[in-house]
Amino acid sequence: MLNGWNTFSKTVLLIIIVLLPIGLIFGYTNQISVQVIKKELQEKALKRLSFFGAQLDNTVNQLSVMSIVLGRDPGVGTMGSAGSGPGAYERLQKQEDFIRKMSVLSATSSWPNRLTIYYPAIKQAISSDYYGIYDEAYLARMSRQPSGSWVYLDDRKEFAKLLWSPLLVKRSIKDAETIVEVRFSEVNLVSMLRDYSADEIGNTFFYKKGFEPIYDHDLGAQSTPLGLIAASLDKEPPDEPGYRVVRVGNDSYMVNIVYSESLGWYAVNYSPLKQVLEPITTSRNLFYASLLLMLLIGLLAAVFLFRQVQLPITMLLRGIKKIQTGEYAFRIRYKPRNEFDYLFLKFNQMSEEIQRLVETVHAENIRFRDAQLKHLQAQINPHFLSNSMFFIKNMIAVDDKEAATRMILNLASYYRYVTKLEHTMTTLREELELIDNYLVIQNLRLERFHYEIEVPESMYRLRVPRLFIQPVIENTMIHTVEKSGRYGIIEMSGRQKGGECLIIVDDNGADISDETIRKLRTKVERPVEEGEGFGLWNVHQRLRYQFGTEAGLQFSRSPLGGLRVAIYWKDSISGESAESTESGKDDDDAAAAGR
């Protein structure tokens, strides 16, 4: 899977593979830890709140017991007679003693409170703080409340509980002998809340649906989430003590709820969840910061490795590829300032040496090729001169001065062309002019053959080796016209398609066997043996030297009945811009050229 990845990519992947599982495992364990700690904190907070509620119920129940004790006191009934007539002073004295008794009983509670006794018969009230006033409307309203329950007086911010004597199913003020009331202010509850909240996270308040929450107003701005939490409790009233998470805006609060059996209110404690989980969050953030720091350090190490190792290796590989593609002048200029400096130095020295050797070998190869071409050309020239001189001799022998003159003039033109040895290349136009000159000379001598040259003018500008067609035409003349003694026909055509060039020479000589064609193909490939003609071999080898191993001569049967010689090469200059100009030739012509 990692094939093609460099060292830097593999290092970065390795760092990620190492750190990613650590991050995932920690994230999972952190999530489990948060859930466990959250549950423990909720249960602990609920236990503390339950203890707080138990303290509240204990204090409130003490006040309830005080009202029962006071209602059962034998002296309560004696205070309900009229305060005028004989013995009025004694009754007042007893009343004063009883009030002091009530004050002592009221002082036994840790909360400030007031005990009051109402006498409906005389419409009077006595209280432990002397502020008791008989309020018939108040008593009528309280008579409609559940028996023995604490009632919150929201207009007075107090809690009150009434005890009727005697106990009546249908309570009526007129039927009651005495009504004992115990009352305390909500300030006592606020004081408890303040003491409880001092040791707890978050804030606490008392809640009952239909009433304003009781809380410490010193909370200030924190009353906003308190009101929203109370509103959420109105929508989903608590069925039993427990805890829940309430979302307020963008924040979540952990809410614990305990019911007070004595008052009928709920004690509610709430605290921001992020504050509760702050230690865990801090630990998690520190770990992730450490993990990120490790990742950054790993990436920095990978970058350092890339600059010090991967980049030099890449430069070295690039240099090797350049050398492979023949760019021997390439040098590595990068300096990593480590062990690769020595490798780069040696690579540059090696490249310089290879360039020097290649240039030397190339120059030697060029000189060798030029020498070979000139040698081949020198081999061709005496052969043609011999045949030409033999022709002139024959013309002089028959006393044909005009033919001899034309022969000499054409021969002079011919040798003026072939003796320019300073250049081994020429244009196809000049080569065709030479062939025409040569065939005119041969036609003057023999007068028993016909020749045609059809080469498109688009090929005239092609650069070709000197005398690469003449030996083929000369071979055709010897075997088709001179040796056979029959009337000969010679056709030469040319075609070009893309960069592929082809010159085809056909004759009507004797029928050519497959064995003869095979021998010709073998002859031009192997070295020339002593006594063999070497005209075709020279052409074939020169084409190979000049245009590569794909160029050369191909042999096949000619449509005229004799031999077809195809001269094939690829012209790198014309390329794909040249078009074929011999579309009328048969498919077997191309096959004969070996294409």
Q: In the structure, what pLDDT confidence band is assigned to residue 368 with cuts at 50, 70 and 90? A: low
More confident residue, 564 or 326: 564
Q: What is the pairing mode between strands 552-557 and 563-570?
A: antiparallel
Structure-block tokens of residue 228: 């929203």
Query: Is the previous residue joined to 166 through a cis bond, with omega within 30 degrees of 0?
Result: yes
> Of 349, 266, 231, 256, which Cα lies nearest the Cα of 56?
266
Q: Percentage of residues in the chain with pLDDT exceeding 90?
A: 13
Q: Which residue is listed with tokens 């009337």?
A: 487
Q: What is the mean pLDDT of residues 69-82?
A: 73
Min mean pLDDT across 217-226, 330-339, 436-445, 504-513 is at 217-226
Contact 50, 240 (CB under 8 A): no
DSSP code of residue 422:
T
Q: What is the mean pLDDT of residues 290-308?
A: 81
What pTM, to 2 d.p., does this model score? 0.48
Instruction: Check if the beta carbon of residue 465 is closer than 8 Å to that of residue 369.
Output: no
CB 296, CB 283: distance < 8 Å: no
Q: Which pLDDT score is estimated for 552?
A: 92
Nearest in space to 135 (alpha carbons), one of 118, 159, 114: 118
271: helix, coil or strand?
Answer: strand
Average pLDDT, the chain: 80
Give 573 or 301, the one with higher predicted confidence.
301
For residues 281-304, average pLDDT: 80
What is the model's pLDDT at position 566? Answer: 95
CB contact at 8 A, 563 and 512: yes
Q: Where are the domains of the chain?
A: 190-275, 326-376, 379-570
Q: Mind giving me the DSSP string for 190-231?
A: HHHHHHHHHTSSSEEEEE-TTSPPB--GGGGGGHHHHHHHHH
Strand stretches in 120-265, DSSP E: 124-127, 151-153, 158-165, 178-185, 203-207, 242-248, 251-259
Classify domain 190-275 at the CATH class level. Answer: alpha beta
Q: Do domains 190-275 and 379-570 have the same CATH topology?
A: no
In this prediction, residue 554 carries a pLDDT of 93
CB 424 within 8 A of CB 465: yes
Counted residue by residue, the chain has a size of 595
Chain centre distance of CA 45: 47
What is the distance between the alpha carbons of residues 257 and 204, in angstroms, rounded to a whole number?
Answer: 10
- Could you tell me the strand order of the sheet in which 500-507 lies? 449-454, 488-497, 500-507, 563-570, 552-557
Rounded to an integer, the average pLDDT of 20-33 is 80
Q: How confident is the model at residue 432 (pLDDT cuts 50, 70, 90)?
A: very high
Cβ neighbors of 329 (< 8 A, separation 6 or more) are: 351, 355
Q: Which residue has the tokens 């303290």?
A: 55
User: Are 511 and 528 spatial neighbours (Cβ–Cβ below 8 Å)?
Assistant: no
**Are 181 and 128 contacting, i.e. CB atoms less than 8 angstroms apart?**
no
pLDDT digits (tens, 9 = 90+) for 505-527: 999 887 788 898 998 888 888 77
For residues 481 and 449, give the distance between their C-alpha atoms in angstroms, rounded to a whole number: 7
Amino acid at 95: Q
Rg of the chain over Cα atoms, rounded to whole angstroms, equals 63
Digit-coded pLDDT (tens) for 305-325: 778 787 888 888 888 888 888
* pLDDT at 564 (0 to 100): 94
Q: In degrees, to the nearest 5, what angle opens at C-alpha 514 toward C-alphas 561 and 553?
A: 80
d(CA 149, CA 179): 14
> CA 595 to CA 589: how far, in whole Å?
9
Least confident of 101-105, 144-148, 185-189, 421-425: 421-425
Does 420 score more than 50 pLDDT? Answer: yes
Res 588: pLDDT = 38
φ/ψ (deg, to 5) at 185? -85, 155
Answer yes or no: is pLDDT of 492 > 90: yes
pLDDT band at 583 (very low <50, low <70, confident <90, very high): very low
Residue 589, pLDDT score? 42
Tell me, which fold does domain 379-570 have in CATH? Answer: Heat Shock Protein 90 (3.30.565)
Query: Tens digits of per-residue pLDDT, 378-415?
Result: 555 565 567 667 767 777 887 877 777 887 888 787 77
pLDDT digits (tens, 9 = 90+) for 247-286: 887 888 888 899 998 888 999 988 887 776 777 778 778 8
Q: Is the pLDDT of residue 502 over 90?
A: yes
From residue 433, alpha-carbon distances to 413, 455, 592 in Å are: 10, 12, 26
Specify the residue for token string 């703080």: 129
CB contact set of 106 (below 8 Å; sequence gap of 6+): 66, 113, 114, 115, 128, 129
Question: What are the two backbone dihedrals, phi and then psi, of residue 582, each rounded to the nearest 5 degrees?
Answer: -125, 60
